Amino acid sequence: MHELMNTNDQGHLTIGGLDTTYLAKKYGTPLFVYDVNKIRENARAFVDTFEHYGVKAQVAYASKAFSSIAMLQVAKQEKLSLDVVSQGELYTALQADFPVEKIHLHGNNKNVAELEMAVKYNIGCVVIDNFHEIELLKDILANYQTEMDVLLRVTPGIEAHTHDYILTGNEDSKFGFDLANGQAEEAFQRLQEIDTIHVKGLHCHIGSQIFETDGFIMAVRRLFDALAGWKKTYHYVPQVLNLGGGFGIRYTDEDQPLALDGYVEALVTEIKLQVDQLEMDFPEIWIEPGRAIVGNTAVTLYTIGSKKAIPGVRDYIAVDGGMTDNIRPALYQAKYEAVVANKVNMPPSTTASIAGKCCESGDMLIWDVPLPSVEPGDILAVFSTGAYGYSMSSHYNRFPKAAVVFVEDMQDKIVIQRETYQDVVKNDLSYE
């Protein structure tokens, strides 16, 4: 049963205490509804656990999971830092008046404009990803006569997804510098020659939707293997270790994630062990959760329309959204749970598959879900759509993008307006 599964006296699904059928009627569908208290709870679970261990930390919300001005304002209120990977994400952060010193810029192909924006607004840190960017940043800093803190992104040779992690000597990844083949050290040496760039520490990110701590622990060990050498050779001691994001959440019963404090505890314990061995000061720990902050905090509401029953094969029930607001089932075979929001207490009487309305057979949201008997106009609620739903949405078939509503203290507030058809054609120019 999903943690956002709450009902009112009418047997309707509620979110943050509000009736989802009321929200669907008020704002239309498809509609993303976020429970802001849940976002705050998730953020605090990370922040409080670091505090509990007395460890200086930055919990940087990975805004790729869901970026909007309102979302970044909540992140700011919760004292999070921010991971941005593009000028668009950085621009959104600036519009949300996010404290610049807590913004970290990522990207495997940062261009001059992005780096210039980072330097101009004096953001907290650039995560260096490749040799090309080092020279670009050096020149920009010279032009602006200023300096920049950076982390060096390394690939530790560990790739983790859910329960699996793969150890490799040379990681086949487009991100960062390889530790095993010496490129990380080469980049480090180059950065040390540039006196306007300060290497605050190392960064690694081993994957996403990870349920176990082993991968993170292996990554920490690999970082410290390198750091042991750099301490000897360069007398270098990092101020910061950034272990990236990837903390898994529950979408369906198949997912059994750890409590958020479990990940933090594992990281702190292993890092403590390593610094004691190397007789180093305990570094600041930075992490970059995206999905774990917002994933389980939202539902998407759809209106049910057509049905197609294929005897002996399958029943299809179509909704008024689909891969345009949630590409994850089509792209990753991601699984979701759903209920009929206006019939939550009705026992399931059938199994049906939820189809989107895009002109594409692969546009399916959920395969074979138990449902009560449904009619056109019923509201379907899909759980755990808070991460990588809206942020990966598209205009395929020229569907306007959905609206986003925040609910907190029994109040609903629209935070991203539904697009109009004028929005859909706004960049089109006539050829007549």
On whether 377 is known to bind a ligand per the annotation, the reply is: no
On whether 360 is known to bind a ligand per the annotation, the reply is: yes
- 6: DSSP letter: E
Which is nearest to 421 in space by CA: 400, 392, 407? 400
Q: Is 204 a catalytic residue?
A: no
What is the contact surface with ligand LLP in residues (CB under 6 A)? 62, 65, 83, 106, 205, 208-209, 244-247, 288-292, 328, 332, 387-388
The CB-of-77 to ligand LLP minimum distance in angstroms stands at 20
The CB-of-290 to ligand LLP minimum distance in angstroms stands at 3
Nearer residue to ligand LLP within complex by CB, 27 or 98? 98
On whether 328 is known to bind a ligand per the annotation, the reply is: yes
On whether 61 is known to bind a ligand per the annotation, the reply is: no
What single string gives the DSSP state of each residue in 21-76? HHHHHHH-SSEEEEEHHHHHHHHHHHHHHHHHTT--EEEEEEGGGS--HHHHHHHH
Decide the pairing of beta strands 6-7 and 350-355: unpaired
Nearer residue to ligand LLP within complex by CB, 12 or 38? 38
**Active-site residue, from 125, 204, 358, 359:** 359
On whether 419 is known to bind a ligand per the annotation, the reply is: no
On whether 246 is known to bind a ligand per the annotation, the reply is: yes
The CB-of-388 to ligand LLP minimum distance in angstroms stands at 3
**C-alpha 280 chain-centroid distance:** 32
- The whole-angstrom separation of Cα 104 and Cα 44 is 20
**C-alpha 140 chain-centroid distance:** 29
Nearer residue to ligand LLP within complex by CB, 128 or 387? 387
Decide the pairing of beta strands 31-35 and 298-310: antiparallel
Which is nearest to 244 in space by CA: 225, 269, 263? 263
- The whole-angstrom separation of Cα 86 and Cα 83 is 10
Q: N- to C-terminal Cα distance for the chain?
A: 56
Which is nearest to 203 in space by CA: 283, 266, 294? 283
On whether 289 is known to bind a ligand per the annotation, the reply is: yes
The CB-of-392 to ligand LLP minimum distance in angstroms stands at 6
Alpha carbon distances (Å) from 27 to 227, 285, 302, 361: 53, 41, 11, 28
Q: Scanning the structure block, which residue is given the tokens 């709450």?
A: 6
The CB-of-321 to ligand LLP minimum distance in angstroms stands at 16
Nearer residue to ligand LLP within complex by CB, 60 or 218? 60
Residues annotated within a binding site for substrate:
291, 328, 332, 360, 388
Q: Which residues are catalytic?
A: 359
Residues annotated within a binding site:
246, 288-291, 328, 332, 360, 388
Residues annotated within a binding site for pyridoxal 5'-phosphate:
246, 288-291, 388
